[in-house]
Amino acid sequence: MVRAVGRHRGALLVFGVAALVPVFVRDAYFLDSLVLILLWGALSAAWNVAGGYAGQVSIGHAAFFGIGAYSAALMGTRFHQSPWLGMLVGVALSLVAGAAIGYLSNRLRGPYFALSTIAFSQVLLIVASRWRAFTSGSEGIPVPFRPGFATLGLSHVAWVYMALAVAVLYWAIQVWLEHSRFGYRLAGVREDEDAAQALGIPARRLKVIAVTASAALTSVCGTLWAQYVGFVDPFYVFSVDLSVRFALNAIIGGMGTALGPFLGSILITSLETYLRATLSGVKSGFTGIYLIVYGVVLILVVRFFPDGLAGLADRLRARRARAQA
Amino acid sequence: MDPARPLGPAQIDVFAQLGVSTVLLGGIYALIAVGLTLIFGIMRVVNFAHGEFLMLGMYLAFWAFTLLSLDPWFVLFVSIPLFFGIGVVTYLLVMKGVIHASHNVQIFTTVGLSTALQNLALVLWSGDFHTVRPWHAATPIRLAGTAFNLSQVVAFLIAIGLTVLLVLFMRWTHTGRVMRATAQDRDAAILMGIDTDRVYRLTFAIGIAAVGAAGVLVSPLYAVYPTAGLQFVLLSYVVVVLGGLGNMMGALIGSLIVAAVEVAGSYYFGTAWKEIFYFVLFIAVLVFRPAGLFGQRGAENLGV
Amino acid sequence: MRRRISLTIAVAVVVLACTAWLTAATWGQALSGEYKIGVLEPLTGPLAGEGKRHLEGFEVVRDLINERGGVMGKRLSFVVADVPDPTAAASEANRLITRENVKIITGTFSSRLCGAASEAAARHNVIYWETSCVDPRFNKRGLKNVYRTEIDATGFGWYNIDFIVKHLAPRFNLKPNELKIAFISEDSSYGQGVTESAVARAKEVGLQVVGPVEYYNFQTINDMTPIIVKLKQLNPDVVHHIAYTNDAPLFWRQAREQNFLFKALVHAGATGYGGSDFGKAMGNDGNGVFALLEPGPGFKLESLKPDGQKIEKDFRDAIQKRTGSYPLGAHQLAGGGLWLLKVVLDRAQSDDPEKFRSAVMGLDLPVGTMINGWGVKFSETGQNSNERVQHYMLQWQNGQLVTVWPEEFTTNRAKWIPLGPWDQRK
């Protein structure tokens, strides 16, 4: 037990700080940002299950996010049910969609798979924005805020703990992946699929399972997001930008590590918010500057730290080991 | 209104007009896709910033037209060497470092490039929509019940010409052969003494030159604004995959097919659904024939 | 090979993040004598062009307000935030409320953003003053401190069909049930909202709606030919087209090329045919198109009440000075909304939500008293009424959008009714 804690000092620190923040800080903006960091982190962790651990890099995870968001919104506004029920519906739908994507992943490699996931998410976008009778089309769905746990109408502080619970759960799932037999076999598939199959590992099935699970986890967060922000807009929830964001945090933090997505989320969300807050008040002509910086930073980080922060950690550790030798 | 009514003179007009639009639209898509198929085909890099270079070409034409009153057809000749240079610089600064990295790295590099370029345009030139209106953009051509635009025809002809040029280049010149060899098997190419870095640099530069020229040519037809590339980029990927990576003729045929799907889909089901048609086509191609119409079977697994 | 993040890295990241959060955005200190409100507009992303213009309109009217003594005895100032998407809208609203301590938030212009932003404001009991988004559901969520100065999409549909029935149909010598109308629209929330309302109203008054609505995505539309070909077969008298910006010149150019003839084209709003980019793109070739907007050139100041004349003139002069042109729709919506806010604050002398609300509900001014010739009367749900938010039909004449209707407000008259052959609209 002590050893386990020692192994996960980083996670303890991050989640511990997150848990303590609402005790000392009452500033709603800070809390709001913390909720977003944890949510984006959890979404990246969900993506990581497919992308980092199974090696199936998708840029279309917004498809599942949108499914979760729409399920909550529609259940709440059209059928007058609790968003928790919406969450279940979203998960069910995402399992199906995830299985479909998983099937695709067995036929396609690398960039082809990535492109096919984009196509899938865009198809869902178009359907959502055109099916006016059911989804209110392009106008989106405002999600009413009704206080209470059953309706996921929580205070800022409660949202922090809700998001934290999900984040810790997703982190734990990833840790389990690292230690379980399923995870080992998945890692084998990721590193060299042909070799793994030669060893008798049912690579195709494992990949489908990973992608399907990833889809369901993403969908849950989509539901939470919809209840938190209060407005589901098809052009946003199914957007490629959002899909890229999920992948990005995991990559920056370290794909295939449990804490990576969260650290990536802390960095990217903070950077983005900091830049936007500092630079957008400037003369309106220069507002795009923060996004230029963002794009350049992205290029640099991906180029020089492709293994993310985990790679950095390895380098530090290697240097320390050399120093001791 | 039932388009399936028996063909009378009015119906023939309808199909003729739709046919002409398909062909001309296909020409424009080909112009854009030709550069992409080169880059994707030979370098195996998914260039998400491809649309942004198109946008830069459009802005070049706009500023040349507005400030110097230069017709885009003239600017075209300037744009090719200019964008060739831009391609080289971009390669050296951005792409070279990640050419041997994993696909994720490459994808996100180009995504970052795409964001940076879009917002660079926004900051420098604001989000206003601009148009380029040379005389030929306002010159309708009416032929046998169909109508189109001189700018479109010229863009189409140049697309054909460019594709043919590139096909000949790839097939008959030494450099072209070298590029094809590198595409087929990078490791073997290195063993044969090919400087793959130089090949990639050239490929990227040619690809960017092609798309920059495309931007100049389409500027009279579409509005110029920072996110103008978005309307073409996903579509170009469909074209490229459909035609087969690295295959110029495939890009041309693929463009026509995508244009036909778009136009027919728009006509029969409504333009709002048109993207669904080519995305579904895209997924179908990926599932059933990922090498595309003209690619080698199994090519999609090479070097990927 | 399991990789792990070292504790050092984790600590570094957390510390870095905390520093960023703490230093991000100045802690709002209102200088004495200054009253700050929050302004949310999309200044990056696909809506940036319009967002920027809205901000310009706000800034110009803010200066006019300050020349007249400001609000509640203090100088009005802004804290501006860029909100390109709904998450940002909610987030930035939170930031402005908690860090900058604003009690009133205004802006957003787009239906995508106003829902999320107003939700966030409502949770903090902060007043949300929307000047432009048209989502009809905006005021139907039971939120008490959420107000909208501009009419919603149903109002646009209302005015457009009104214009067609009262002003165009007689000049075509057609009774409403003989008039064929076709609908085209861009597919965003704006386009869908306005178009569906217009279709509903058209059917109510008995116009012949031909064909389904032709929707398209303005970001990916490359070719209007299939639409034009279909419409040519349907042969409408009036084309109702809600466009964004790049699609309007595309349709008009291709309609001309393919010789698609119809008697009138009607649009609503400051984008597309209602934006200056259309005139720049088309020049005289754009003659004849109608767009429902705020007042344009030709608007008779004398048709307003004395107070209205003064402020409308000052507003126009200020915009002219700043941008070199007549006010654009975006300027007018933002500016008009902000001026109305000042009127409310003058009456309430407080930003306490209860007092503010009673001031809002107590206002009842006739058309012609404010910028754009607006009057004001809010409903219980916080919506300014159709009748008071006077809208005008403008027409492109010789490269300029001029006011042509209602006729009592303008010196110009609508021309080219019906639109003749393409090359004869000089």
Tokens coding B15:
């199909």
From CA C299, how far away is CA C411, in angstroms rounded?
Answer: 7
Name residue, tokens 């009424």.
Answer: C385
Distance from CA of A33 to the nearest CA of C (A): 7
- Chain A residue closest in CA terms to B284: A116
pLDDT, tens digit, for every residue of B155-206?
889 888 988 888 898 889 998 888 888 877 878 888 888 888 899 999 999 9
**Domain residue ranges of chain A, discontinuous segments joined by +:** 2-239
Q: Which of A90, A3, A43 is nearest to A243 (CA)?
A: A43
ipTM: 0.83
pLDDT in tens, B27-44: 889 989 988 988 888 888
Average pLDDT along chain B: 85
Structure token digits, residue C384: 């300014």
Q: Of C1, B297, C373, C56, whose CA–CA distance to A317 is shortest?
A: C1
Alpha helices, DSSP H, located in chain B: 9-38, 50-68, 72-90, 103-125, 150-172, 174-184, 186-191, 196-218, 230-243, 248-269, 274-288
**Crossing angle of helices A110-130/B103-125, nearest 10°?**
50
What pLDDT score does B275 carry? 84
Residue B46 lies inside a defined structural domain of this protein: yes
Q: Is residue B13 part of a domain?
A: no
Report residue B245's pLDDT band, with 50, 70 and 90 as the boundaries: confident
Other beta carbons within 10 angstroms of residue C198's beta carbon come to 29
Note whether A112 contacts B104, CB cutoff 8 Å: no
Q: Which of helix, strand or coil describes residue A3?
A: helix
Cβ neighbours for A321, distance < 8 A, ≥ 6 positions apart: none
Question: What CATH number has the domain bearing residue C315?
Answer: 3.40.50.2300
Cβ separation of A277 and C137 shorter than 8 Å? no
Q: What percentage of chain B reaches a pLDDT higher than 70?
A: 93
Q: Do C220 and B275 touch (CB under 8 A)?
A: yes
How far is the C-alpha of C370 from the C-alpha of C391, rounded, in Å? Answer: 13
Domain that holds residue B289: 24-301
Per the structure, the count of domains in chain C is 2
d(CA C63, CA C75): 9
- What is the per-residue pLDDT for C222? 82
Residue of B nearest to C277 (CA): B129
Amino acid making up residue C127: I
DSSP letters along A130-154, please?
H-HHHH-GGG-EE-----BTTTTB-
Q: Which residue has the higher pLDDT, A30 or B200?
A: B200
* pLDDT band, very low/low/confident/very high, at B304 (cuts 50, 70, 90): very low
Do residues A280 and C81 lie in contact, with contact meaning Cβ atoms separated by under 8 Å? yes
| Rounded Cα distance, A217 and A98, in Å | 10
Mean pLDDT confidence for C154-161? 88
Confidence check: pLDDT of C25 > 60: no
Q: What percent of chain C has pLDDT over 90?
A: 42
Who's near C98: CB < 8 A, 6+ residues apart? A27, A28, A29, A30, A32, C124
Indicate whether C244 belongs to any domain.
yes
H-helix or E-strand containing A221? helix A203-229
> What is the mean predicted confidence (pLDDT) over A3-32?
81
Residue of A284 and A21 predicted with greater confidence: A21
Strands C290-293 and C392-397: antiparallel
* CB within 8 Å: A130 and C187: yes
C-alpha angle C285-C286-C289 in degrees, rounded to nearest 5: 145
Confidence of residue C129 (pLDDT cuts 50, 70, 90): very high
Chain A residues lying within 8 Å of B104, measured CB to CB:
51, 57, 247, 251, 255, 306
Q: Is the pLDDT of residue B282 over 50?
A: yes
Q: What is the mean pLDDT of residues A186-198?
A: 86
DSSP-H helix ranges across A180-202: 181-191, 193-198
Whether A119 shows a pLDDT value over 80: the answer reads yes
pLDDT over 90 percentage in chain B: 28
The residue behind tokens 């916080």 is: C382
Is residue C406 included in any domain, yes or no? yes
Q: How far apart are the first and last CA of chain C?
A: 76
C37 near A CB under 8 A: no
Task: Please indicate, yes or no, whether residues C260 and C375 belong to a single structural domain of this protein.
Answer: no
Q: Taking CB atoms and an 8 Å cutoff, what residues of chain A touch C215?
A: 130
Please check the confidence at residue B3 and state whether its pLDDT lies above 50: no
User: Which tokens sit at C17?
Assistant: 């993040």
**Greater model confidence, A307 or B86:** B86
Least confident of A119-123, B100-104, C164-168, C336-340: B100-104
User: In angstroms, how far is the first alpha carbon of chain A from the final one?
Assistant: 30
Q: Rounded to whole angstroms, how far apart are CA atoms B135 and B153?
A: 14
Residues C202 and C117 occupy one common structural domain: no
Q: Do C225 and C284 have their domain in common?
A: yes
CA distance C212 to chain A (A): 13
pLDDT of amino acid B9: 60
| Exposed e or buried b per residue across B6-17, where buried means at least 16 C-beta atoms within 10 angstroms of its C-beta | eeeeeeebbeeb
pLDDT of residue B296: 62
CB contact at 8 A, C41 and C107: yes
| A138 to C188: CB separation less than 8 angstroms, yes or no | yes
Contacts 24+ apart (CB under 8 A), A26-30: A27/C98, A27/C99, A28/A156, A28/C94, A28/C97, A28/C98, A28/C124, A29/C94, A29/C95, A29/C97, A29/C98, A29/C99, A30/C21, A30/C98
| Complete DSSP assignment for C94-133 | HHHHHTS--SEEEE--SHHHHHHHHHHHHHTT-EEEESS-
Note the pLDDT of residue A56.
Answer: 86
Give the pLDDT of residue C153: 84
Average pLDDT of the segment spanning B99-106: 81
Domain holding C52, by residue range, is 31-133+301-390
Angstrom distance (rounded) from CA C3 to CA C89: 37
Provide mean pLDDT across the span B130-150: 82
Residues C395, C328, single domain; the answer is: no
Distance CA C230, CA A258 (A): 55
3-class state of residue C402 by DSSP: strand
Instruction: Collect all residues of chain C within an 8 Å Cβ-Cβ radius of residue A287.
Output: 43-44, 48, 82
User: Does the structure show a pLDDT above 70 at C292?
Assistant: yes
Q: Is the predicted pLDDT of residue A81 greater than 60, yes or no?
A: yes
List alpha helices for C68-206, DSSP H. Answer: 86-98, 111-123, 153-163, 189-205
Q: Look at residue B303 in the predicted model and tell me its pLDDT.
A: 42
Question: Among residues 159-198 of chain B, which lie with CB inside 8 Å of chain A?
Answer: none
Taking phi first (over 0 means left), then psi (-120 to 50 degrees means alpha), and beta for anything else, what does residue B228 get?
alpha
Would you give the DSSP letter of residue B304? -
C117 and C43 in a single domain? The answer is: yes
Q: Judge: A288–B120 Cβ closer than 8 Å, yes or no.
A: yes
Model pTM? 0.87
Confidence of residue A295 (pLDDT cuts 50, 70, 90): confident
Express each pLDDT in C256-278 by its tens digit.
Answer: 888 899 999 999 988 889 888 88
Q: Which of A136, A95, A126, A309 is nearest to A232 (CA)?
A: A136
How many CB atoms are closer than 10 A to CB A74? 21
Subunits in contact with chain B (3 or more CB pairs closer than 8 Å): A, C
B121 neighbors B184 (Cβ within 8 angstroms): no
Residues C305 and C177 placed together within one structural domain of the fold: no
Give dist(CA B274, CA C222) in Å, integer. 11
| Mean of the per-residue pLDDT values of chain C | 87
Residue A287 dihedral angles phi and psi, to the nearest 5°: -65, -30
CA distance from start to end of chain B: 49
The answer as to whether C357 is a domain residue is yes
Distances (CA, A) of A97 to A63, A91, A121, B173: 9, 10, 10, 47
pLDDT averaged over every residue in chain A: 86
Q: What is the pLDDT of residues B202-241, one digit of tens each?
A: 999 999 999 999 999 989 888 888 888 887 888 898 898 8
Q: Which of residues 60-119 of B touch A (CB under 8 A)?
A: 94, 97-98, 101-105, 107-109, 111-119
pLDDT band at C128; cut points 50, 70, 90: very high
Given pLDDT bands bounded at 50, 70 and 90, which one contains residue B1?
very low
| Total count of residues recorded for chain C | 426
For residues C140 and A141, is the Cβ–Cβ distance under 8 A?
no
Under 8 Å between Cβ of B150 and B139: yes
Q: Give yes or no for residue C76 having a pLDDT over 60.
A: yes
Distance of alpha carbon C372 from alpha carbon C394, whole angstroms: 13
Same domain membership, residue C286 and residue C326: no
Examine residue B9 and state whether it is found in any structural domain, yes or no.
Answer: no
Of A271, A234, A290, A295, whose CA–CA distance to A62 is shortest?
A234
For C56, name the nearest residue in chain A, comparing CA atoms only.
A284
Q: What's the total number of domains in chain B? A: 1
Residue found by looking up tokens 């380029």 in the block = B132
Nearest alpha-carbon partner for A54 in A204, A194, A187: A187
Cβ-Cβ contacts under 8 Å for C130 (sequence gap 6 or more)? C106, C107, C108, C114, C118, C138, C146, C147, C148, C149, C150, C337
Q: Compute the distance between CA of residue A120 and CA of residue B106 in angstroms, rounded to an integer.
A: 21
C274: in domain:
yes
What percentage of chain C exceeds 70 in pLDDT?
95
Distance from CA of C265 to the nearest CA of B (A): 20
Q: Is the pLDDT of residue A257 over 50?
A: yes
- Tell me: do C89 and C110 sit in the same domain: yes
Same domain, C240 and C351: no
The count of residues in chain B is 304
CA distance C14 to A217: 25
Is residue B30 assigned to a domain? Answer: yes
How far apart, in whole angstroms, are the C-alpha atoms of residue C140 and residue C132? Answer: 16
Burial class (CB in 10 A: 0-12, 13-18, 19+), C424: exposed
* pLDDT score recorded for residue A150: 80
CB contact under 8 A, C223 and B18: no
Residue C55 lies in a domain: yes
Residue C1: which pLDDT band, with cuts at 50, 70 and 90?
very low
pLDDT at B8 over 90: no
- Residue of C3, C112, C194, C215 for testing the chain A interface, max A β-carbons within 10 Å: C3
- Nearest-Cα distance to chain B for C304, in Å, is 32
Share above pLDDT 70 across residues of chain A, in percent, rounded to a whole number: 95
Query: Among all residues of chain C, which has the CA nearest to that of A241?
Result: C85
Minimal C-alpha gap between B216 and chain C (Å): 16
